[in-house]
Chain A
Amino acid sequence: MPFVPHTPADIAAMLGVIGVAAIDDLFDEIPAALRIGELAAIPTGMAEMDIARLMQVRARADGEPVCFIGAGAYDHHIPAVVWQIASRGEFYTAYTPYQAEASQGTLQLLYEFQSMMTALTALDVSNASLYDGASALAEAVLMAVRANRKAKSSRVLVPRALHPAYRRVLRGIVEPQGIEVVEAPFDRRGGHTPAATLDSLAGAEGFAAVVINQPNFFGVIEDADELTDAAHAQGALVIGVVNPIALALLKPPGEWGTAGADIACGEVQPLGIPLSSGGPYAGFLCCKKDLVRQMPGRIIGRTLDLDGKPGFTLTLQAREQHIRRGKATSNICTNQGLLATAATIHMAILGAEGLERVAAASHANTRQLTALLCKTAGVEPLFDRPCFHEQALHLPAPTADVLRSLAADTILGGFDLGLDYPELDPALLVCATELRTAEEMEHYAAKLAEIIASQTVPG
């Protein structure tokens, strides 16, 4: 019996203690009409060696193409240490550290995670993770609207140059609470969000919060200082959506403009989490100290025990659903603890200098890839502003056809921008992390040239 240890003698002894004749008697309070016999559509069980064979065949079938897609999930090196430690049973099979004394490992690690995230973002406090970057943004917006008591508005301004899936998730989560999401257009030449649009869209009501995405979905570096000051001048709170790897190079949200962003959030995935078809990843959420009581999710604090010895515990639990129920800051309970564990180990190994090297190498590789791809006539950068580690390109042929031909050559050529931005079609968003070699990039450029040539020559 897989994973059930009971011997016939155990079962007989246990039934005797309970005082029933058979296990089935234990279900006698369930109305008979509702009882089912068997789950006929479930296959019979498999031994580990058999399911291993099946999974190996399926994993191999998916191949391991060379990845030039970024678009919110990035193919970075993950040190072997990260998952060997994160997969230790003591981390992998523990739960939310409700019993602090028996969970000091997880609690201290998450305190270190919070410390590292506040260092990267230059903000005061961090929570212990949310589901992913997009849902973290939704929580950040809910938090900002709650916190901004000065603003009469429950409108938030979001750049159209923010990840399309983030905008969709945001709308789905915040609109039921009566929050209106307004989109700020991007500049067609620069690909950035002009600060002037904040004023033109503010209207009489203004905004409770303004979202700044640095770099934005196109990889374009926004003028975060100017946007932050413009938003603050309107009485809005500023939410930065940032890539933690980019933070090794770019100015952190806490230092944007005169006063700094109020909240920063984003995707933890680039910090040691495998691509894995999209999850599990983790979201992070940091903020200024005075907003901490509006923050959703678990927060770990350092305190003292009865003997005056330092220790770690879940704190500010009065914000959370298990205490406040319908009045909680969020419904979140289970978060992404194991991914925060991996990210903490990853950041400890890389350090700030290691992360800066990863960021710089990814940026330089993308620059190199762009130069190679743009050798093909008609392939050119869509925007003229500086980018970080991602590049939007105009194509002289239908993007879907190009990507399909590249895929046949085990190249994942990029993200088809025309799907979400029809005004840019045909266009491609490419990324070459530090893992891409010169040979891989040259191979991609050569194949693209071939494909474009075959597409544009009639007949």
Chain B
Amino acid sequence: MLIHEQSQPGRRATAQAPLQLADCADIPAAQRRTTRALLPEVSELQVVRHYTRLSQKNFSIDTHFYPLGSCTMKYNPRACHTLASLPGFLARHPEAPDHQGQGFLACLYELQEMLKEVTGMQAVSLAPSAGAQGEFAGVAMIRAYHQARGDTARTEILVPDAAHGTNPASAVMCGFVAREIPTGPDGDVNLEALRAAVGSQTAGIMLTNPSTVGVFDRNIQEIARIVHEAGGLLYYDGANLNAILSKVRPGDMGFDVIHMNLHKTFSTPHGGGGPGAGPVGVSQRLEPFLPVPLVARDGTAYRWLSEANRPQSIGRLTAFGGNMGILLRAYVYARMLGREGMKRVSEFSTLNANYLMARLREAGFEAAYPQRRASHEFIISIKQEAKAFHVNAMDFAKRLLDYGYHAPTTYFPSLVPECLLIEPTETETKEELDGFVAALVAIREEARTNPDLVTGAPHTMPVRRLDDVRAARQLDLAWRPDGAPA
């Protein structure tokens, strides 16, 4: 039942609003609202009960193993939330002067410095609100760099076919054409195709390494050479930074610009779809173009640098400069890990992924790239099972929900048929991984003996499989009192 359907005229949570309705007669009647918006009229307890119950209909990291590939669903330490929510941080207005934010700015400055070290880049801006906004900023910097040199014929951004959809979309938002490069049979970028594609029209390439197929591209130095020799720049999609933390750095691989997803690698919460944080790091030559604001330190004092201090900046991405509270959470996490903890992140996420892949292969599942090491994630293809039992990857995903596991990423990357992209993360125990293997084995057995059980899954969730076609054709996107959907 919707909260709207619990509404009773005249009911209110009276403790939460001013006791009087103040006089506003000075606002002209012609500009006034004539009827109140149809918001629910409910008590405080009704609100608490309704949303608590709704929360219980969710899978989450706190309640379930959540091996959603490319999303790094690891434990979000509670201390990060508590400490970023201290009253001094929460109450500070974005336009408050810098001298009344020295504690806050110190945290952000140190985070900037740590991210430089982690990525091997020369400078970092914390401004982007999420990975896709980081990509936009990164590609905008590539554009600004070429334009500043008068090199205006570079109209293409190269994107491997396994890339996240955000990559080509970001390139297009910056006014470029996205050109696809195929992936070779071993999971690495096809170098011949890359050589054939680069030229004086190449502005840059966007790469994820380790890639979304779960392997480290061994030819990265050669890729960097090919693209740089053509006059293009290298963009690093940091979605998979968790896999290489403290092992290898994008800056050392030859990348000119990178975004990081702090909601992945630095364990800030995913919040049911955000907020994220997508800081960007750059090499020396892109440094003038970084998005504002940046934190500077003069002696022991910290201050924001904005448009006035940074004339070549690509500018501002949000009104107030970024997801500050998320940056504080990432700062707390980074300080708790320290340099030794960061190393363990990549080591144990990689150990968990390779262990899980080995166990699943032992159990007879087909790994997409069995000859390769897994990074912190890997792909299993359900192709054989689909052929033998007429159940597909989505059926396995839905049936996993009944076993108490969130599904892996399904049907991405699309170049592997019937794929499950599995990312266990470093914070899961061996027992949890063993349980997940047992569940997949059990589901395959069900597919053999009772396929309807699998194709009809899930059976234990609040709803069964939903009619997506109906959702898109008979649009019902907002509640209306007369029941007529919008």
Q: Are A322 and B165 in contact (CB under 8 A)?
A: yes
User: Could you say which residues of chain B place their CB within 8 Å of the CB of A26?
Assistant: 347, 350-351, 354, 373-374
Task: Write out the residue numbers on chain B whose beta carbons fall within 8 Å of the beta carbon of A165.
Answer: 316, 319-320
For window 22-78 of A, CB contacts with B under 8 Å fall at 23-24, 26-31, 33-36, 38-48, 51-52, 54-65, 67, 69, 71-73, 75, 77
Asked if B445 is at the interface (CB within 8 A of a chain A CB), the reply is no
- Known contacts: A58-B106, A65-B96, A105-B54. The answer to whether A354 contacts B12 by CB under 8 A is yes
Of residues 333 to 380 in B, which have CB atoms within 8 Å of A's CB atoms? 334-348, 350-352, 354-355, 358-359, 362, 372-374
B273 interface residue (CB < 8 Å to A): yes
Residues 193-226 of A contacting B (Cβ, < 8 Å): 221, 224-225
Is there a chain B Cβ closer than 8 Å to A79's Cβ? yes
Most buried by A among B31, B96, B117, B244: B31
User: B426 contacts A3, CB within 8 Å?
Assistant: yes
Q: Measured between alpha carbons, how far is A119 from B91 in the docked complex, in Å?
A: 29
Expressed in whole angstroms, the minimum distance between the Cβ of A162 and any Cβ of chain B is 11
Say yes or no for B182: interface residue by CB 8 A criterion. Answer: no
Of the candidates B54, B320, B412, which one forms a contact with A109 in the assembled complex, judged by CB atoms under 8 Å apart? B54
B351 close to A93 (CB less than 8 A): no
> Are the C-beta atoms of B272 and A341 separated by less than 8 Å?
yes
Q: Is the interface on chain A under 10, 10 to 19, 20 to 34, or 35 or more residues?
A: 35 or more
Least distance between A307 CB and chain B CB atoms (Å) = 6
Do B426 and A72 have beta carbons less than 8 Å apart?
A: no
Contact present for A353 and B350 (CB under 8 Å): no
The answer on a CB contact under 8 Å between A92 and B271 is yes
Q: Which of B112-170 contact A (CB under 8 A)?
A: 113-114, 116-118, 120, 129-133, 135-136, 140, 143, 164-166, 168-170
**Contact among B36, B77, B315, B478 with A353 in the assembled complex (CB-CB below 8 Å):** B36
Taken together as a complex, chains A and B put the C-alpha atoms of A350 and B15 apart, in Å, by 9
**Cα A44 to Cα B91 with chains together (Å):** 30
For A103, the chain B residues whose CB sits under 8 A away are 57-59, 272
Contact B339 A169 (CB under 8 A): no
B269 touches A55 (CB 8 A): no
Interface positions, chain B 1-31, Cβ under 8 Å from A, are: 2-4, 12-13, 15-18, 20-24, 26-28, 30-31
**CB-defined contacts of A335 to chain B, threshold 8 Å:** 130, 273-275
Kindly list chain B residues whose C-beta atoms are within 8 Å of the C-beta of A327: 172
| Residues B355 and A43 in contact, CB atoms below 8 Å apart | no
Residues of B within 8 A of A46 (CB): 335-336, 338
Q: Is the CB of B430 within 8 A of A247?
A: no
Q: Mark B420-463, 1 if CB is under 8 A from A, else 0.
A: 00000011111000000000000000000000000010100111
By beta carbon, the residue of chain A nearest B404 is: A102
- Asked if residues A353 and B12 are in contact (CB atoms below 8 Å), the reply is yes
One of B24, B90, B343 near A275 (C-beta < 8 A): B90
Q: Are B273 and A128 in contact (CB under 8 A)?
A: yes
**Does A258 touch B at the CB level, under 8 Å?**
no
**How far is it, in angstroms, between the C-alpha of A95 and the C-alpha of B96 when the chains are bound?**
32
B269: which A residues are within 8 A, CB to CB?
92-93, 338
Which of A10-18, A373-381, A443-451 sits within the interface?
A10-18
Set A166, A224, A333: member contacting B31, Cβ < 8 A? A224
User: How many Å lie between the Cα of A307 and that of B232 in the bound state?
Assistant: 54
B221–A306 touching, CB < 8 Å: no
Pair A42/B117 contact, Cβ less than 8 Å: yes
Q: Mark B262-281, 1 if CB is under 8 A from A, else 0.
A: 01000101111111100000
Contact between chains at B169 and A309 (CB < 8 Å): no
Question: Are A62 and B467 neighbours in the complex by a CB distance under 8 Å?
Answer: no
CB nearest neighbor in A for B339: A42
A126 within 8 A of B: yes
Complex Cα–Cα for A93 and B269 (A): 5
Neighbouring B residues of A320 by C-beta, 8 Å? 165
Contact A60 B88 (CB under 8 A): yes
Interface contact A221-B54, CB-CB below 8 Å: no
Contact A124 B323 (CB under 8 A): no
B218 touches which of A29, A40, A67 (Cβ 8 Å): A29
A185 contacts partner chain B, Cβ-Cβ < 8 Å:
no
Kindly state whether residue A383 has any CB partner on chain B within 8 Å: no
| Cβ-defined partner of B401 (8 Å) among A11, A56, A102, A315 | A102
| B285 lies within 8 A of chain A by Cβ | no
Chain A positions 348-406 with a Cβ under 8 Å from a chain B Cβ: 348-361, 363-364, 367, 386, 388, 403-404
In the complex, the answer to whether B55 meets A6 with C-beta atoms within 8 Å is: no
Question: A182 interface residue, CB < 8 Å from B?
Answer: no
- With A51-B336, A276-B90, A333-B132 in contact, is A311–B165 under 8 Å at CB? no
Docked-complex contact B68 and A3, CB < 8 angstroms: no
The one of B66, B320, B355 that contacts A14, using a Cβ cutoff of 8 Å: B355
* Contact of A353 with B129 at beta-carbon distance under 8 Å, contacts A27-B247, A31-B218, A96-B270 already known: no
Of B38-46, B193-201, B383-391, the one touching chain A: B38-46
A43 in contact with B339 (CB, 8 Å) = yes
Which residues of chain A have C-beta atoms less than 8 A from B261's C-beta? 334
Closest CB of chain B to A212's CB: distance in Å?
12
Show 15 A/B contacts (Cβ-Cβ < 8 Å), sorted by A: A5-B427, A39-B246, A55-B83, A72-B94, A92-B81, A95-B71, A96-B272, A106-B273, A115-B2, A131-B317, A252-B37, A279-B275, A281-B318, A331-B132, A331-B170
